[in-house]
Amino acid sequence: MLECLDNFSKKQALPRMLADLAIVHACAVVSLIGAFLWEATWLDGEATITLTRTLESYYVLRFLPLSLVFPLVFLFNGLYTRSRAYVGRYKSLVVLRGSGTAILLFLFLNFLFCRAELMPRSAVLVFGVLVGCGTVGARWLKTRLVDAAQEPVPGARASSEKMPVLVVGGAGYIGSLLCRKLLEAGETVRVLDSLVYGDFAIRGLRRHPGFELMAGDCRDIRSVVSAMRGVKSVVHLAAIVGDGACEQDRHTALEVNYAATRMMIEIAKGNGVERFVFASSCSVYGASDHLADEHSAVNPISLYAQTKVDSEKVLLEARTASFHPVVLRLATVFGAGYRPRFDLVVNLLVAEAYHHRLVTIYNGGQWRPFIHVGDVADGILLTLKAPLGLVSGEIFNLGDSRLNHTLAEVAEKIRRVIPEARILNLDNPDRRNYRVSFRRIHDRLGFRCILGLDEGILELRRSFERNAIPDYTDVRYNNQKFLALAGRGVETNRVQSRVMAAFSGD
């Protein structure tokens, strides 16, 4: 329970605690007035005055101090640290659970310390219902108001008759930017996402006429079937992303990253989907001293990378004359985006340099290829538009040969943008090391990255200066930490588990 405090930020939580306290007091006042009006109908003038005084004294002397229980219980229920990452019915349930616990504790303390002056019984039930509705309703209203205030994405109005591009995992770091770029290009976009980390990255798109969100799990056969209806192209980004996040729950990682991909391939083919773009990772090359290209042997050294290798294989084998899979092996992504991830090396190092004046690197000599999140989205767009003959059944490393860097070089670049930061070199057992050739995507599709590390680091620094990312340690920005704290995020049902078991085997 104390884990809830790990992520506590006074600046973010205090206004919300005060708002909840105000809601609780408003509910108490309304229910006490209700109790007064109800009981006053049976009383004469003097008794009515006595009742008024009793209720007033109860409110000021008893209720006021005891009401502090509410924000405290909400805090320990994660309402000020985690709940922003929850959405829809699940969020309402979490808030209701917090309210229920707080009311019970409040009544218990009320009984323990002021037995002589209890809240009138007629008011207790009304108070409980009002607090439940008030806390859930206020959050619902806030979400609606924020949605309404969001600016629609500029650009061409997408035609509702156009076949949508389905972005599975479209609410994530890459997906939320890709959706915007697709809409700007005049495409109609449908997102299937279980919103593991919340919907905050795509909230601004909800009112766009060309955008449709289907909140659902890519392991759920019914959700996938309805999402694929009438779709021409699929971009599959949904995954438990990162080595640590996959180790957190290996079973779920296998289901989401591999079994669900297999299932989606079958459903896509059955629905006449023409192009299926899959986000794989350059981490499939594992530890290697050679420059890796698409012909190099893969060497996955983590479950995450293994699920990518296995998914690539089934996807490419599924190619037919009418079904055209494309595999993109992405370099390590950096840049701010709409759901910035601070479990990625460049983003994390910049955040630490800015906030703590320290860049800690492990095994500074290891090579990694990098790519800005905006360039990833552009690369995917290019793959969607390219003639089928150039991309069907192909693997492309998505990045730019100029963006292979050692971690020591990354640290040096960060220090140039944030000169106050000190570099600390350490050693750890992480032996991932790969330099990657991106010639193929350049030669065949003309792809080149527009943004380098320098621009990305500067962009992140500016985001911190503007306070656009008030707390980079918020679990919403860290897959592994989020999953450790919130569990799987979305529960599966029995049918879904059986379907996944069927697709997990060979």
The residues that touch ligand NAD, with contacts defined as CB under 6 A, are 169, 171-175, 193-197, 217-219, 237-239, 241, 256, 279, 281, 330, 332-333, 339, 341, 344, 479
Q: How far is the CB of 112 from ligand NAD (least distance, A)?
A: 44
Q: Could you tell me the smallest distance in angstroms from the CB atom of residue 162 to ligand NAD?
A: 23
Q: How many CB atoms sit inside 10 A of residue 395's CB? A: 21
Least gap, CB of 308 to ligand NAD (angstroms): 7
CA angle 231, 235, 239 (to 5 degrees): 125
CB of 75 or CB of 191, closer to ligand NAD = 191
The nearest distance, CB 334 to ligand NAD, in angstroms, is 8
Q: Which is nearer to ligand NAD, 245 or 414 (CB)?
A: 245
For residue 276, which phi and psi values (nearest 5 degrees)? -130, 105
Cα 261 to chain center, whole Å?
20
Least Cα distance to 199 among 181, 179, 229, 219 occurs for: 179
Please name the helix (run of DSSP H) or strand (run of DSSP E) that holds residue 375, with its range, or none.
helix 373-385
For residues 154-166, one letter each, b for 16 or more C-beta atoms within 10 angstroms of the residue's C-beta and e for the rest, the string is ebeebeeeeebbb
Strands (E), 90-221: 165-168, 189-193, 211-215
Radius of gyration of the chain (CA): 27
Residue 245: both structure tokens together: 């996040």
Q: Which residue's CB is nearer to ligand NAD, number 123 or number 376?
A: 376
Question: Least distance from C-beta 479 to ligand NAD, angstroms?
Answer: 5
Nearer to ligand NAD, 20 or 474 (CB): 474
For residue 255, the 8-state DSSP code is I
How far is the CA of 79 from the CAs of 1, 76, 435, in angstroms?
12, 7, 43
- Minimum CB separation of residue 283 from ligand NAD in Å reads 7
- Closer to ligand NAD by CB, 189 or 239: give it: 239
- The smaller minimum CB distance to ligand NAD, of residues 208 and 339, is found at 339
Smallest gap from Cβ 272 to ligand NAD, in A, equals: 22
Strands (E) located in 232-355: 233-236, 275-281, 287-292, 324-330, 332-334
| Cβ proximity of 281 and 371 under 8 Å | no
Nearer to ligand NAD, 55 or 246 (CB): 246
Helix, strand, coil abundance in the chain, percent, nearest 5: 55, 15, 30
Residue with smaller CB distance to ligand NAD, 306 or 332: 332
In the complex with ligand NAD, the residue whose CB is nearer, 213 or 330, is 330
Measured in whole angstroms, how far is the alpha carbon of residue 283 from the centre of its chain?
Answer: 22
- C-alpha–C-alpha distance, residues 120 and 142, integer Å: 32
Amino acid at 98: G
Task: Give the shortest CB-393-to-ligand NAD separation in angstroms.
Answer: 19
The nearest distance, CB 498 to ligand NAD, in angstroms, is 16
User: Residue of minimal CB distance from ligand NAD?
Assistant: 172
